[in-house]
């Protein structure tokens, strides 16, 4: 069965705790009906925290209570066993009525009355329920075809049809969420649209749907909900997204400038001993700039060939300038430098020009050179002008034999 998930926007930020410290002293009332006779937790959701604020005890399929409001305007979920949840919005003084809860469905089904945001949350929830039900039915049909032992000429066309149905269902879900957001980009409840996943796939992926993230961020930011903890959480992630998108733009722009005939950007960094080294100091030599990381297998294999090239052409004014891209993300710089030195020795990188600022992919050098993937090499002439890009193996050997 397909997994349809309503997850936190930033993986790893969702915490569960019992904490009533946020309560305002004011309440809202909730009534729930379900074929269920046990307890369920009422949890307050802010994006980076999920706190139990009360417990509902079901008797005869009904439960009700006055719930202490965590905020004057907040988002909550009722958690049943088996990770079954339903979400609603409640403000101080609200009367929330949740009925026809069907715990046998996955995700569960329900009705809600009380306010428009709770109804919109239910709309998102039921959209997911319909999507999963449809995808599951397609999966069953697909499995029947796959299990057929007889040769049937229609088999491939049917499987292709089911694959196209999967895509159509996903796109319909995606378009529905977009329509909900576009209807009013000032509604805080729309943040939940970005929490929809089908299996491992985010329904509104950042790279393709970035304008929707920005529209909602700008819209809510212009309202009185700009100080709400849910928006604060969402906004922080959008700020990071803006930085990521801008960085990608700069990298793409720089990569387009990395063409033969262009002057290679300057590089100033430090070697394993902490001493400053510059690319400019190698003027007068043909230089191969190579970008690599410790965990890049193809990079490490390429070092074997670079060692041969350095031995073959090193006495003809040929140099290798290796830029290591390890680091960043809170990694231990001391441990990385130790591993870096060991790799230089293990890979036979006998040339003396090794640098790293230990900032990983956040390095300014990455931006300057538009490095999108590794291994990456740039060959420059004695003036610092680019001769070739991504030359490896025999191609590099031929180029060096021509110019040296």
pLDDT in tens, the chain (404 residues): 555 555 443 333 344 444 444 445 699 999 999 999 999 999 999 988 899 999 999 999 999 999 999 999 999 999 999 889 999 999 999 999 999 999 999 899 999 999 999 999 999 999 999 999 999 999 999 988 888 767 777 888 888 999 999 999 999 999 999 999 999 999 999 999 999 999 889 999 987 899 999 999 999 999 999 999 999 999 998 998 888 888 888 888 888 888 999 999 999 999 999 999 999 999 999 999 999 999 999 999 999 999 999 999 999 999 999 999 999 877 888 999 999 999 999 999 999 999 999 999 999 999 999 999 999 999 999 999 999 999 998 999 999 999 98
Domain 268-403, what fold? Glutaredoxin (3.40.30)
| Residue 325: closest CA among 368, 288, 355, 280 | 355
**Alpha-carbon distance 402 to 404, whole Å?**
6
Sequence-distant (6+) residues with CB within 8 A of 254 are 265, 367, 368, 369, 370
Tell me the CA distances in angstroms from 379 to 107, 119, 254, 398, one per residue in order.
56, 61, 16, 13
**Alpha-carbon distance 42 to 36, whole Å?**
15
Domain ranges, ordered by start, for the chain: 4-240, 268-403
User: How many of the other CB atoms lie within 10 Å of CB of 167?
Assistant: 9
Return the pLDDT at 318. Answer: 97
Alpha helices, DSSP H only, in 69-154?
A: 116-146
Find out whether the peptide bond into 107 is cis, omega within 30 degrees of 0: yes
Return the pLDDT at 83. Answer: 86
Give yes or no for a contact between 324 and 333, defined as CB atoms under 8 angstroms apart.
Answer: no
**Alpha-carbon distance 118 to 110, whole Å?**
11
Instruction: Determine the distance from the C-alpha atom of residue 392 to the mean position of all C-alpha atoms in its chain, rounded to a whole number.
Output: 32
Return the pLDDT at 374. Answer: 95
Residue 170 backbone dihedrals phi, psi, to 5 degrees: -60, -45
The pTM of this model reads 0.71
Q: Where would I find the beta strands (DSSP E) of 232-361?
A: 268-270, 276-278, 286-292, 318-324, 353-355
| Residue 310: closest CA among 337, 293, 285 | 285
374: helix, coil or strand? coil
Alpha helices, DSSP H only, in 263-346?
A: 297-313, 333-346
| Residue 386: closest CA among 359, 368, 372 | 368
241: burial class by Cβ within 10 Å (0-12, 13-18, 19+)?
Answer: middle
Helix (H) / strand (E) containing 287: strand 286-292
Sequence-distant (6+) residues with CB within 8 A of 352 are none
């Amino acid at each position: 069965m397909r997994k349809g998930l309503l997850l936190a926007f930033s993986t790893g930020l969702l915490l569960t705790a019992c904490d009533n410290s946020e309560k305002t002293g004011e309440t809202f009332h909730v009534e729930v009906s379900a074929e269920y006779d046990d307890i369920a937790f009422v949890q307050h959701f802010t994006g980076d925290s999920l706190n139990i604020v009360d417990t509902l005890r079901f008797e005869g399929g009904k439960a009700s209570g006055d719930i202490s409001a965590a905020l004057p305007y907040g988002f909550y979920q009722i958690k049943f066993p088996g990770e079954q949840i339903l979400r609603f919005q409640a403000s101080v003084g609200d009367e929330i009525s949740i009925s026809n809860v069907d715990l046998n469905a996955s995700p569960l089904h329900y009705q809600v009355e009380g306010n428009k945001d709770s109804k919109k949350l239910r709309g998102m929830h039921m959209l997911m329920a319909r999507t999963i039900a449809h995808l599951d039915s397609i999966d069953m049909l697909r499995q029947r075809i796959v299990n057929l032992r007889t040769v049937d000429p229609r088999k491939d066309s049917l499987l292709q049809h089911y694959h196209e149905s999967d895509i159509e269902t996903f796109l319909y879900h995606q378009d529905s969420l977009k329509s909900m957001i576009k209807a009013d980009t000032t509604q805080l409840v729309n943040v939940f649209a970005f929490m929809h996943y089908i299996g491992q796939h985010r329904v509104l992926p950042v790279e393709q749907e970035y304008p929707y993230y920005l529209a909602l961020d700008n819209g809510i930011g212009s309202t009185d909900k700009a100080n709400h903890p849910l928006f604060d959480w969402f906004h922080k992630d959008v700020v990071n997204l803006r930085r990521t998108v801008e960085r990608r733009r700069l990298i793409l722009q720089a990569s387009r400038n990395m063409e033969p005939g262009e002057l290679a950007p300057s590089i100033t960094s430090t070697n394993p001993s902490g001493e400053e080294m510059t690319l400019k100091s190698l003027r007068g030599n043909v230089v191969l700039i190579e970008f690599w990381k410790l965990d890049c297998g193809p990079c490490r294999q390429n070092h074997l060939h670079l060692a041969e090239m350095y031995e073959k052409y090193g006495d003809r004014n040929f140099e290798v300038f290796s830029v290591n891209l390890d680091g960043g993300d809170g990694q231990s710089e001391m441990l990385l430098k130790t591993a870096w030195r060991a790799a230089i020795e293990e890979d036979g990188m006998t040339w003396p020009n090794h640098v790293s600022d230990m900032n990983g992919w956040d390095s300014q050098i990455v931006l300057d050179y538009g490095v999108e993937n590794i291994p990456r090499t740039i060959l420059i002439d004695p003036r610092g002008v680019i001769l070739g890009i991504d030359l490896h193996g025999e191609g590099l050997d031929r180029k060096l034999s021509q110019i040296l």
